[in-house]
Structure 1
């Protein structure tokens, strides 16, 4: 049975300003290659249900205004982009598709939709994900060397920046960090404020995406198609290429530097006892100042069955569920778990608590690692509390737990009106 070759897709992302200009420039350069189709959805009028789509091939551009019943990024993906990818992939004249992403599109969400969302109703095609017809060749992210680190460590929301609808709670930092973290290659555009600032930025990028080749360019106009193709060719064979990692994947990907350089360092925090939820809630303020991002798995004393996932970017933090510990699963479900996860759990299995532990990685650019470790150690249960965790979990379950319903920081005081709550975004709890 013949195996059909899937059409490669290159996603180009960039957040505002020079980076957005870079998206359009790189897409235009790649679009000069025969058989390459460039697709761009312009979402500035999304809240009115209007999306403008431009498709360019062989020097010709076809534009169309789409009216969506529900103006949102998700319905743009489902109703137009994914079916369009399937139709383009079916054309013999299309050798590659380049997606020039609007800042409101996140490459990770697009890749997940390509892999998982069923596309239905295309004549002559069996319903199924677009990933049957296309494959992600690379995610290429543009960033502005003068503004990215400030964006990645700030507290402002997309709505406050005027880049999203009022009900979009994503922060600028989440998008800025997420775009780089998901990239297979980077194009850093524009001069840094000074040599020290550029050196610090380079150290941050090297630790965030150590395997991603980077093109540094002070002048966007000098970045031509040949240089972009060379950059794409330098992406390692084992690069991410659109893959979505779950909460149990390794927290350190590639081989990032583990020493401190220009004040930038990776802080690894591991513990074989749980956090006390109230002390953790107070200690998390240490992740807001001088920290680019933090992520990892946590064990809370009050939630012994749940793997708790923490992820921060700049002044915002989210805590949510990531399934259950293997020790809390019946044998038949353990047998179905990912083999790599089971193997790692077996290496550190505890007779009392099983695979429960804490594993966090924090990328700091202007913070003292000792302060971070001290605050997190302080939040762990003490010996007498650990005995309660083991022998009297019903008593531990009665402790106050700010994470009882999944948590987002900054916290909103229930006595404040929405405007007041918004004004406290990013402040300590």
Structure 2
């Protein structure tokens, strides 16, 4: 009897209920979120869920569920601890599992409140165990639903200013007072995580539109962009057509691994309208105090910077950096392969081991620096010069190799997670990176 080739056996169909997340935070963009959700609601078997969090600091959440046949249910939730994470765990995730079990529900649309980050929601769907749902074994909501797409809606008149500013969400009135995320971190994160972008463009100057297009094509190179001058003209057919344009290899809710290649989706590497994406790479570590001084160069004329760093004082730790406008996160992303035991190395991701083998150094293993920087109004040469100044010099590198115990006694501003104003209110946050926590602190 012939045994069929496993490679020729078609995969089992994914029977989980698809989920579309629609996100946007500025006033114009939130109107776009509502329009997109309503257009998607025209699809048979679609349900639109929205949690309105304007009273979250009082522990009140307003939840609305709209159904394709026209009915709506509104619920007021009272939370013992009013926060975004509690809303996710206590209501949104259990609701997804309940809706997915209904035969009448073919698709769920999450019209996200500005305080929600799509990446945090997707990570919670995959990782957070949902308990207490009648008739269901405890487990993540990702067993019952899958992310079909993440749509980001932005206001073309204000997004770039938001993405490069210093204002916090709390100052904008979009979050609780103890939520210190910046508008820039959310604006950049929404587009970076999106599978498709809807840009609202009435009254946007042609040159400004071209410049914003140059930023979007580098920040989210695989995401199709639909420019809309009139929201009323963007109906069900247009939204479904945009979903159909999303490439098969798009993220669709997948959480980025800090050890993956940083240039995802083959973004343009040339300069357009002053916008450029470039890499800073080095095979020697940063001196922590000089790096702390040099990081100011990432706050002016830069949309975002992200990547892996090697600090001389932390030779075993991969340090992750992620900036957006005037906000910065620095934190841990695991250990270098060269710092792992043989047993730990065997369990490491094979793709990561293969990439590391291509650049393995006899003295320092896979330790290196790799940053990708998206600038819109800054000179890449000046940024490279500042970061190069922060690297250890030759005599310091010899200490790193031969006397690490002495290097460990150097002053290290990154030795502990802390909010670091740097004197004059500089909105620098040193803490766990979003890609590791799933939600900004």
Q: So what's the TM-score if we normalise by structure 2?
A: 0.93
Cα displacement (A) at 1:191: 2.9
Aligned 8 A contact 2:329 2:429 in 1: no
1:261 aligns with 2:272: yes
1:425 aligns with 2:426: yes
Provide the C-alpha distance between the structure 1 equivalents of 2:77 and 2:329, rounded to a whole number of angstroms.
Answer: 34
Who is 1:127 aligned against? 138
Equivalent of 2:24 in 14, 27, 35: 14
| 1:256-287 deviation digits (Å, cap 9, x = unpaired) | 10011100001201000000111111110100
Alignment of 1:327-338 (within 5 A): 327-338=338-349
1:316 aligns with 2:317: no
| 1:74-113 deviation digits (Å, cap 9, x = unpaired) | 1111111111100100001100000000000100000000
Structure 1: gaps (5+ residues): 414-422
Provide the C-alpha distance between the structure 2 equivalents of 1:339 and 1:19, rounded to a whole number of angstroms.
Answer: 41
Aligned 8 A contact 2:129 2:138 in 1: yes
Aligned 8 A contact 1:316 1:409 in 2: no
Q: Secondary structure at the match of 1:201?
A: helix
Cα displacement (A) at 1:59: 1.1
1:168 aligns with 2:179: yes
Cα displacement (A) at 1:427: 8.2
Aligned 8 A contact 1:141 1:180 in 2: yes
Moved over 2 A (4+): 190-193, 406-411, 425-429
Equivalent of 1:210 in 218, 221, 225: 221
Who is 1:34 aligned against? 44
Aligned 8 A contact 1:277 1:402 in 2: yes
Q: Secondary structure at the match of 2:179?
A: coil
Equivalent of 2:296 in 264, 272, 285: 285
1:393 aligns with 2:394: no
Who is 1:153 aligned against? 164
1:374 aligns with 2:374: no
Query: What is the RMSD of the two structures over their aligned residues, measured on CA atoms?
Result: 1.5
Cα displacement (A) at 1:5: 0.6
Provide the C-alpha distance between the structure 2 equivalents of 1:253 and 1:157, rounded to a whole number of angstroms.
Answer: 28
Alignment of 1:27-176 (within 5 A): 27-57=37-67, 58-176=69-187
| 1:30-60 deviation digits (Å, cap 9, x = unpaired) | 1011100000010000111111111011111
Cα displacement (A) at 1:408: 4.5
